[in-house]
Every structure is written in C-alpha cells, then in structure tokens.
Amino acid sequence: MNTAAKTAAGSPSRAAAAGRLVLRRLGFAVPVLVIVAFGVFLLAAASPFDPIHQYYGVQIFDASAQDVAAVRARLGLDDPVLVQFWNWFSGVLSGDLGISRSMRQPVAQVVAERLPWTILLATTGLVVAVLIAVVLGTAAAWRQGGWIDRFVTAIGYALEGVPPFVLALLSIAVFSLGLGWLPVAGLTDAGSAISIGQVLEHLALPALVLGVSQSPWLVLHLRQSLLSSLSEDHVVGARARGLGEGIVVLRHALPTALLPFVNLIGTRIPELVTGAVLVEEVFSWPGVAAAVVTAATAVDYPLLAILALVATAAVLLGSLLADVAAILLDPRVAADG
Amino acid sequence: MGDVRESVPESTAWESGSGQWRSAARKRAGTPRGGGREVRARIRLWGSLGTLVALVLAALLVPALAGNEGGVHYEAIRLPPSPEHPFGTDTAGRDVFVRALAGLRVSLLVAAVSALVSTVLGAAVGTIAGALGGWTDRLLMRVVDTVNAVPHLLLGIVIVALYRGSVVAVVLSIALTHWTAVARIVRSEVLSLRQRPYIDAAISGGATRWRVLHRHLLPAIVPQAALSAVLLIPHAVWHETALSFLGLGLPPHMASIGNILGDGREAVLLGAWWIILFPSALLVVTTLAVSGIAASWRDGVVPRRRSELAL
C-alpha cells in the first residue's frame, strides 16, 4: 500500500481529480443541506404540537393571553412557514443560529458546548470498531473455517441483531453495577470538575459499546474482502515465491482488502450517528446526539434544524473522505468517475 | 460463506464415490456444490423458519391464554426469574414473559406494516425512475441521495417527535426513511429489464408505455420487491424499538419491545437485569430469524454478494 500511496499521491492528476471530486461534492452538499433544513421546518410546521406549550410548560395556565400572544409574536410562531424559514435561513447565513427554545441558550452555544463531546465519543467508537474489525477480520479470514473464524462470524451475525441501547444497558448492568469497574453514566462524577482522568473513565464504556455495536458489519466485510483478496493472483504469486504466511497475509493480501473497507467506513457514518444518539441517551453523555431527543420532544425547530444539518454534513463529509481516500490510495479507482 | 476451497473434500465425502467426478466438473464450471455450505444453508433456513413460527405462535397464544396473569401486581414487584415467572416480573409486578411476547407481537406487526409501506413506496419510485429515465430519473435519484444523507434514526426522531404517540407516525417514520434502498434496487432491476428483448417486442407490438409498465415491468420486479420487504423487517423492528426506547415511539399503553426496554432502564439500575435481558434476547432472536430467512431467500434468488445487498 505504501508504494501505491506514494505513486498515487505523487501524481498531480490524481490529486487534482480528488480536488475536483471535493468541489463537485460541495456543489451537491449545499442544496442538500438547504433542502434538509427546509424539510425540518415543513415537518415542524405541519405538527399539531404547539411549541408555545413547551416554552411555557405548566406556567401556561397562569400566563395571560396577551403575554402568550406577545411571546408568540417574539418567537415568530404566527408567521407562515416560509417566512419563519427565511428568517432563520438569513440568520444562519449571517452567523446567527437562533436561540434554542428547549435549552434556553443560543443554538451556537449549545452546539459549541456539546459537539466536541460527541466528536470525542464518535471518533473513539469508530477507532474501537476499526481496531476490532482489522484484528478479528484478519484473524477470521486467515484460518477460514477454523474455530476463530466460526466464533467471530457467529458473534458478528448475532451482534448485527443487537441494538446499541440493549448493548449499552447490559454493559451497564455487568461492568458498572455487577463488577463496579466503570461509572454508570455522565461525563464526570457528580460535582467533580472536568479532568482528563475523569472523562477517560466515563468515556470508556460508552465508546466501547458504540465501537462494539458498529463492529460486526466492519468485521464481516473485512473478512469477506480479505478472503477474496487471498485468492487473487498477486497473493498466489507471493505464496509461490515462498514468502512467509505472515508476510503474504499482512503485506500482500490485507492492503488490497483494506481499500473497499475504507469506503465501507465512510458509508457507515449514518449508523455511527444513529448509534451515538442511542448511546449518548443511555449514558447521559452531554453530546449533540442526546440533544436531538430533547430538541425533538420540545419541537425546538432552530436547534433541531441545526442538529439535522450537523448530522447530514457529517454523513456527506464521511462519504467524501472515504472517496478521496479511495482515489489517493487505490490507483485502480477511476478518478474522474 | 465463500468457503469454496475448503468445502471440496467435504462435498466429495458427502456425495460418496460416484459423485466425485461431478464435483470436479462443477468446480471447473465454477459452480461447486460445497456440501457443508449447502447443509449449513439448509439448517439456517429451517432453523430460522422454525424459530420464527414458534415465536409468532407464542406471541399470539401466550398473552391470550395468560389473560390477567400479565396484569399489575404490586405485591410481586421486580421478582427474579422463577418457575412461576420464567422471565421475572417488572416494576409494576407484571410478568415479563407474557409482556415481552405481547410486545413482540406489536413490534412485529408495526415492523411488517412499515416494511410493506416502505417497499411499495420504494418500488413505485424505483420503477418510475427506471422506466421513464431522463430528467425524472435524475431528479428522483437526487431525492434518494438527499434522504440517504440524513441519518435514518434522526429523520425518524424528527417525524415521530412532531406527531407524538401515534402509531401512524411511527409507521411513517420507518417507511419514509427506509424506502431509498428498495428504490435503488428496483430501479437497477428495471434498468436491466428494459434491455430485454421481450420489452422491445412489447413496444414494437404497439404496447403503450403504461401497458409495458404494468404488464411487463411490474410483475418482473415483484420477487425483488418482496425480498426487499422481508429484508427490511429486521431494520423496521430495530427502528421501532429504538424510537419507543427513547420514549418517542408507540404510545405507552401499547407494550412493544422498545417500550418495555425503555421502562426497564431504571429497573436495571436497581439490579433487575432480567427486565432488560429477556425481552432484548427475544428481540435479537426474532430479528436474526427473519434475517436468516431473508438471507436464504436472497441466496436462492439473487446470487450476489451479501455486502452489495445489505440494506
């Protein structure tokens, strides 16, 4: 893979092709993001649920009709959807993301406070998943049909059917309550300040759960693509030259198997976001994904629209990165396709 | 899967003696029979079918027979599993065994309806895009790309949250997020069907576009669409469970697996692991049985790699 990467990245035409791909994808991403935001507004406007009730809570019974009307006017709830959307959209273009009604904070502040924690959780989870996949997938394909293979494949298929929140709850029951190794939930212990040790201790279980719940697709895919690359001509050639088994598998077969794997990781980003929503919710992790649930239950359009945009942008970025990586790493990929 | 090399000795042993030349010929022709693989596939199919039938029967019969057994009993709160309550009891003293099976019934029903709606929608979009081509096709495929760019659960949460507590919203939230995979598969199927001589024959025979569509194209995509519907069921179960677990899905009085697990969250912290473990085990076994059936069906109908069809 090293030589391939060197020659590929070294040739200016491929880098230029990757650049063109980035531009084309950005051209696609902008309308998609606008449509997604507009879709959220349309859906919210069609909802029978009145956001003013959430804003006031039970105090709406004491509020006078004028006050309610004034708040409605201030929040712009009486405007038609298109006007609301335009106000919001022009605000976003000028850097004002609006105010989250459920968190009583500017949306920008909510996102800025919570996004880093989600990115931390999601990337740690992804790294865990990829590590599991590379180690177990290689081990399974190496001795196909052996006991490691049977065990890994069976566990993989079984785990595909287990939702992340079940995994999360069971791991809390075992590791936090049963064994008492790790804390149950939250970012830090109650009342203690944020420190690296505290966060790492609280991150371990959610990140492991997220990683393990994402791993079966990656493991099974890597196993399959390693199996097919093990029967390719260059691997047969390497074996025929008498190279050691370790070198054949790790240096000749694995690199070709990893290329489609990089693409798969890119397409798994939506599932990673989904998993993050559920895992954050179970572990009370203070990230943006858990805020989706809060925002949705409160029909908090400004926050919901931004969170939908963040998630969509993450998905588009993930698939873009995967495609760029494929172009740069694999000389066989048609760069202008 | 794909263990061609390894299964050759197994298959000769299995076909004993006279079959040996046949397996060699099959190998040359690129269609090895792979005894172990075939036996395993058959075990998977019948095992999955048997499990699913047993679960569905249990889900239909047990709650009906149990009657009030599954009701609220405040004197029997959070009892661990015992012969009397095989799965234990929950925070309201309800029998988890009866409740989980009743929940399974709700979950499966919602999932099946959602998968059906989703497949019909996806098949319609896919057929129109594939059959009309041109701008319609490009536009519809951009719509598919756009929907795919939003994480399914997020879009589902948005839809469900805005119409809380309604079964229709849950079904729609699943259907509106999962049709894109079906649309893609059906579209590519229609595109390849359009090249077939019998379509040319129908057109040169003077068939209108509509007649070609509903007499020649639609019947041909039914098997693919049906397979997609079954493949969608585990996803739909999963999606419904996740929504209900977050408290956004089915109304609380409809005990679905997701609602049961959502209710059980606090109970786990009190040490009542059985309230979570058994219903989720039931959920996992059910989704595995359905995907086992779907996978056997797919391997029989579409000899393609698993990863290509994973929805």
**CATH number where B274 lies:** 1.10.3720.10
What is the C-alpha to C-alpha distance for residues A203 and A182, in angstroms, rounded to an integer?
Answer: 9
> Chain A: residue nearest B270 by CA?
A177
Chain B residues with beta carbon closer than 8 angstroms to that of A263 = none
Q: Among residues 276-295 of chain B, which lie with CB inside 8 Å of chain A?
A: 276-277, 280, 283-284, 287-288, 291
Which pLDDT value is given to residue B26? 61
Chain A residues with beta carbon closer than 8 angstroms to that of B246 = 277-278, 281, 293
- Which 3 state secondary structure label does DSSP give A241? coil
Nearest chain A CA: its distance from B295 CA (Å): 12
Environment class of B191 (CB within 10 Å of its CB; exposed 0-12, middle 13-18, buried 19+): middle
Whether B278 is covered by a domain: the verdict is yes
Q: Phi/psi at B281 (nearest 5 deg)? A: -60, -40
Q: What is the pTM of this model?
A: 0.77
- CATH 3.40.640.10 assigned to domain A115-297? The reply is no
HSE-up of B149 (CA within 13 Å, CB side)? 27
Q: Do B273 and A44 touch (CB under 8 A)?
A: no
Our measurement of the distance from residue A250's CA atom to the centroid of its chain's CA atoms, rounded to an integer in Å, reads 29
Match 């989600």 to its residue by tokens.
Answer: A118
Whether B19 is covered by a domain: the verdict is no
Nearest neighbour of B146 by CB, restricted to A35, A144, A271: A35
Match 């459920």 to its residue by tokens.
Answer: A102
Whether B274 is covered by a domain: the verdict is yes
HSE-up of B43 (CA within 13 Å, CB side)? 6
**What are B82-115's pLDDT values in tens digits?**
777 777 777 776 777 888 888 888 888 888 999 9
Chain B residues with beta carbon closer than 8 angstroms to that of A296 = 157-158, 160-162, 248
Which pLDDT value is given to residue A2? 45
- Which 3 state secondary structure label does DSSP give A106? strand
Instruction: Determine the residue type at B221.
Output: I
Answer whether residue A161 shows pLDDT above 70.
yes
Q: Does B234 touch chain A (CB under 8 A)?
A: yes
Residue B136 belongs to domain spanning: 35-309
Average pLDDT value for residue range A4-33: 72
Confidence of residue B3 (pLDDT cuts 50, 70, 90): very low
Please tell me the total count of domains within chain B.
1
Q: Does B51 touch chain A (CB under 8 A)?
A: no
**What are A281-311's pLDDT values in tens digits?**
888 778 887 788 888 777 777 788 888 888 8
Whether B60 is covered by a domain: the verdict is yes
Confidence of residue B122 (pLDDT cuts 50, 70, 90): very high
Q: Do B153 and A161 touch (CB under 8 A)?
A: no
Q: Do B153 and A32 touch (CB under 8 A)?
A: no
What is the C-alpha to C-alpha distance for residues B245 and B267, in angstroms, rounded to an integer?
Answer: 14
Q: Do A293 and B152 touch (CB under 8 A)?
A: no
Average pLDDT value for residue range A197-223: 82
**What are A254-289's pLDDT values in tens digits?**
888 887 788 788 878 888 888 888 888 888 778 887
Which pLDDT value is given to residue A5? 44
Nearest neighbour of B158 by CB, restricted to A43, A48, A274: A43
Which pLDDT value is given to residue B119? 92
Nearest neighbour of A274 by CB, restricted to B151, B245, B264: B151
Which pLDDT value is given to residue B6? 43
Strand A99-100 and strand A105-106: the pairing is antiparallel
Q: Does B163 touch chain A (CB under 8 A)?
A: yes
* Among the listed residues A273, A275, A285, the one whose alpha carbon sits nearest the alpha carbon of residue A113: A285
Which pLDDT value is given to residue B62? 76
Match 């505290």 to its residue by tokens.
Answer: A198
- Which 3 state secondary structure label does DSSP give B114? helix
Start-end of CATH 1.10.3720.10 domains in chain A: 115-297
Whether B14 is covered by a domain: the verdict is no
What is the C-alpha to C-alpha distance for residues A170 and A177, in angstroms, rounded to an integer?
Answer: 10
Which pLDDT value is given to residue B108? 87
Q: Do B149 and A312 touch (CB under 8 A)?
A: yes
**What are A55-105's pLDDT values in tens digits?**
676 666 777 777 777 777 776 677 777 887 887 788 888 877 777 777 777
Strand partners, B95: B89
